[in-house]
Amino acid sequence: MTAVEAETETTTPLTHRLYAEAFGDDRPAELETFSSCSWWLLGTVVGALKLSPGQLLADIGCGRGGPGLWLARATATRLVGIDFSPAALRAAAARADSFGLLGRAHFQRGSFDATTLEDASVDGAVSVDALPFAQDRLAALTEVCRVLRPGARFVFTGREGASSWTAMVEKAGLVLEDRLVHEGANARWLRLFDLWLRHERELRAELGDAAAAQMVEEARAGHRLVETAPLVFVTRRPPIEED
């Protein structure tokens, strides 16, 4: 979740325009997402989760709900979105009908390490650009493992850094099935960060000084962040072995 999504329940025309300019045709416009979500990523998640109609998908750190709503519609599944922000949850719930998910999508407050979901209750989970914000990443992965049904998969985005996601996945009880590079994501982020810096004055006028300053700070730090590869992790809770 970027500064824009964290700070605002609705977004400004300028913010949408800058994202559209930076991400181009790779950005699914319907989602109105403020993450690295792309058409390639959506297709990769659908193929990796292998969900069946009527099953339950969890979107962890769902924000305004775009990717989870799209995925639930595409796979004919039910959706539960988890986020800490009441504003984001309200925005996500308000969009469910436009995705044809009225009565099939539910959004509730929770944290990465305390989702409030029951043990082994979801058939698949996804987290787009949210999990890296967890204060305790291992606890977050352990929580996802808890709520997954045996054999269910969790797909999330992140970058390998000082603490390795690959190592934490195994410690959390999950199995790493694949690790893919999100090609083109770094170039899109760099274009967006440059646009934010070039339009700082206009962003301050539309969003206010506090939100715009956070975006500028994120943009400056982001140029260092993209020195690492954006990755998509496909993990799975081990199935129960039959005797």
Confidence at residue 11, expressed as pLDDT on a 0 to 100 scale: 57
pTM of the model: 0.90
Encode pLDDT of 62-107 as tens digits.
999 999 999 999 999 999 999 999 999 999 999 999 999 999 999 9
Q: What pLDDT was estimated at residue 92? A: 95
pLDDT of res. 224: 79
Task: Check: CB of residue 14 under 8 Å from CB of residue 196.
Answer: no
The residues of the chain scoring below 70 in pLDDT are 1-11, 162-163, 242-243
* 59 close to 79: Cβ distance less than 8 angstroms: yes
Question: Do residues 32 and 9 lie in contact, with contact meaning Cβ atoms separated by under 8 Å?
Answer: no
SS3 116: coil
